[in-house]
Amino acid sequence: DGGITQSPKYLFRKEGQNVTLSCEQNLNHDAMYWYRQDPGQGLRLIYYSQIVNDFQKGDIAEGYSVSREKKESFPLTVTSAQKNPTAFYLCATQVRDGSTDTQYFGPGTRLTVL
């Protein structure tokens, strides 16, 4: 949303294949996040990164990997080890706003594993 791009919008892969989801931002925000959203459910945190070359596991990191080689980019790889990868994937950035932190989201990538 407003400076966060995710591509592609829809992605189809065969079971057993790794797939990489792109997330790029031009907001100059330091922190970036990956969430997963399943139908009718809330957000679940996969990974997050506070600065370049550093990232931390979220609540459901198993079967996923990330990298943060540039401030603008935080790609997510869904590996074949992820048991149920079909979901809506959301990338977000975070910025300090006064005394609080506000997160902004990209448009999402809907991954379907056949």
Partner 1 sequence: DAKTTQPPSMDCAEGRAANLPCNHSTISGNEYVYWYRQIHSQGPQYIIHGLKNNETNEMASLIITEDRKSSTLILPHATLRDTAVYYCIVRPIGTGTASKLTFGTGTRLQVTL
Taking the complex as a whole, the smallest distance from the CB of residue 33 to partner 1 amounts, in Å, to: 7
**Whole-angstrom distance, CA of residue 12 vs CA of residue 63:** 17
Binding site residues, partner 1, CB under 8 A: 1, 4, 6, 30-31, 33, 35, 42-43, 45, 48, 50, 56, 58-59, 88, 90, 92, 94, 97, 99-108, 110
Taking the complex as a whole, the smallest distance from the CB of residue 104 to partner 1 amounts, in Å, to: 6
Per-residue CA distances from 9 to 14, 23, 37, 102, 103 (Å): 17, 11, 14, 24, 20
Are 97 and 14 spatial neighbours (Cβ–Cβ below 8 Å)? Answer: no
- Which residue, 8 or 107, is less far from partner 1 as judged by CB? 107
- Which residue, 60 or 80, is less far from partner 1 as judged by CB? 60
**Whole-angstrom distance, CA of residue 105 vs CA of residue 71:** 16
Are 89 and 104 spatial neighbours (Cβ–Cβ below 8 Å)? Answer: no
Taking the complex as a whole, the smallest distance from the CB of residue 80 to partner 1 amounts, in Å, to: 26
Taking the complex as a whole, the smallest distance from the CB of residue 105 to partner 1 amounts, in Å, to: 4
